Amino acid sequence: MESTLGVLVHGAGWVSTQHIEAFRRNPATEIVAISSRRLGSARARAAEAHLDVPCFDSLEKALDTPGVDIVSVCTPQHVHAENVLLAAAAGKHLVIEKPVATGMADMWAMREAVRRAGVKTVVSFVLRWNPWFRTLKKLIAEGALGSIYAVEADYQSNIASWWSGYEAARRLATGVSAMLVGGCHALDAARWFAGRGEEEAARVEEVFACRGGWRKGCGREYNYLERSWRTGMPPLEYEGYEVYLLRFAGGVVGKVSVNLDCIMPYTFPIEIFGDRGTVKDNRMWSHLFPGQTDWIPIPTVLPDSSDVAHHPFQAQMDHFVTCIRDNRESHCNLEDAFHTHEVVFAAQECYRTGRPVRLPLPRGRRRKGESHPGSRSSKA
Ligand SMILES: NC(=O)c1ccc[n+]([C@@H]2O[C@H](COP(=O)([O-])OP(=O)(O)OC[C@H]3O[C@@H](n4cnc5c(N)ncnc54)[C@H](OP(=O)(O)O)[C@@H]3O)[C@@H](O)[C@H]2O)c1
């Protein structure tokens, strides 16, 4: 019988609650340690989950715990790179929260560290395991919409101080952009649905981006959970609204947006157009139903909540454990997520030049006085 895989959860905040729960429920894994910046947070998380495990105030110390096979990186995004470098060097498999990094220099360093260590990774583009995403991916792969020519996905979430991670996310240096912080879920969705195979996310060859909105620098904030306004709040340091136009390899055209400035509850609209059918959210029109006279609604779980407890982390972690056991790569590994993040950093370049940017970004291409955003050399 195979021994259980030991999990160390690092960064004892909101999303860690779901990582802990998912690994606790998986019969092949067990939580063996929790660490965070503050020891008290790690201990509180362990107590809340009724876990009698050692707790630490640093990843370095926690990695010495016997029996750690997997490290779940649940810290804020600007800390992910140093966490991944450390854990990969220690030979640990990695669950990495999105966004995985805040600049290309960190992305390249992480990819190299993981390749060198030969460890398995999964990045929490958790919606790939959402029931409607899974259904849709299968319908596309089986030709229900014919050949896909256009994909649209929009991440519309009034991220604000109700979120424990907001302080790091709202800042330019540690959040970078609305698309990086939250919209990357929609970008990943567009890549996923533009990919033909059941486990294939399409590659973006070119991106053009526009940004706007009203919240950048504004201390007025809406809390849609309480339906109340507040003033004098810490503002977003970047534009809350962005639209990307994408040209995928294979010719599919994509439109992806992020809207943190919206005054409304969370929504995640999806539109997919093929030469034999169309999908709008969970409504379908397909050549498979020649007698259809109206949209066919598919009862499912939509990606319509920002609550981490609503996200399918269980299915993501179960998938990852199977990948480790079967010695195969996840379709959502760091190599794949690298490309999604590269599109975001290419869009940042587009804002500087006003021109579409082709991918992949050549390593080290920099004009005098410029660097890729958030790269080690551009950090304050
Ligand atoms: N996949 C998804 O759908 C999803 C959903 C939510 C969040 N996320 C991502 O998950 C990450 C964490 O988000 P969250 O909502 O859990 O935020 P959070 O509640 O702020 O949790 C982050 C935790 O990390 C700890 N931390 C902060 N700085 C640290 C540092 N320098 N070193 C070590 N620990 C540090 C903090 O704990 P102490 O300071 O108290 O020790 C904090 O509780 C973010 O990157 C976010 O984008 C992803």
**Tens digits of residue pLDDT in 172-206:** 999 999 999 999 999 999 999 999 999 999 999 99
Distance CA 99, CA 79 (A): 10
Beta-carbon contacts of 115 under 8 Å, excluding residues fewer than 6 positions away, are none
Rounded distance from Cα 268 to ligand 1 centre (Å)? 22
**Which residue is associated with the tokens 């905040």?**
13
What's the pLDDT score for residue 147? 97
pLDDT over 90 (residue 65): yes
Distance CA 72, CA 84 (A): 10
239-297 pLDDT tens trace: 999 999 999 999 999 999 999 999 999 999 999 999 999 999 999 999 999 999 999 99
What's the pLDDT score for residue 225? 83
What's the pLDDT score for residue 224? 83
Provide the pLDDT confidence category of residue 100 given band limits of 50, 70 and 90. Answer: very high
What's the pLDDT score for residue 170? 98
Q: What is the mean pLDDT of the segment spanning 155-181?
A: 97
What's the pLDDT score for residue 374? 44
Distance CA 25, CA 23 (A): 5
Distance CA 259, CA 213 (A): 8
* In contact, 183 and 236? CB cutoff 8 Å: no
What's the pLDDT score for residue 2? 77
pLDDT over 50 (residue 113): yes
What's the pLDDT score for residue 375? 43
Distance CA 215, CA 238 (A): 8
Question: 14: Cβ below 6 Å to ligand 1?
Answer: yes
Q: What is the mean pLDDT of the chain?
A: 95
Domains belonging to the chain, first-starting first, are: 5-126+311-332 (3.40.50.720), 127-307 (3.30.360.10)
Q: What percent of the chain has pLDDT over 90?
A: 93
Rounded distance from Cα 91 to ligand 1 centre (Å)? 23
Question: 18: Cβ below 6 Å to ligand 1?
Answer: no
316-341 pLDDT tens trace: 999 999 999 999 999 999 999 999 99
pLDDT over 50 (residue 371): no
9-25 pLDDT tens trace: 999 999 999 999 999 99
pTM recorded for the entire structure: 0.96
Question: 98: Cβ below 6 Å to ligand 1?
Answer: yes
Q: What percent of the chain has pLDDT over 70?
A: 96
Whole-number Cα distances in Å, 321 to 18, 49, 283, 291: 16, 21, 33, 43
Length of the chain: 380
What's the pLDDT score for residue 25? 98
pLDDT over 60 (residue 367): no
Question: 341: Cβ below 6 Å to ligand 1?
Answer: no
Q: Is the peptide bond before 234 cis (omega within 30 degrees of 0)?
A: no
Fill in the amino acid letter for 287: H
Rounded distance from Cα 165 to ligand 1 centre (Å)? 6
Stronger pLDDT, 364 or 219, i.e. the higher one = 219
Rounded distance from Cα 15 to ligand 1 centre (Å)? 7
pLDDT over 60 (residue 366): no
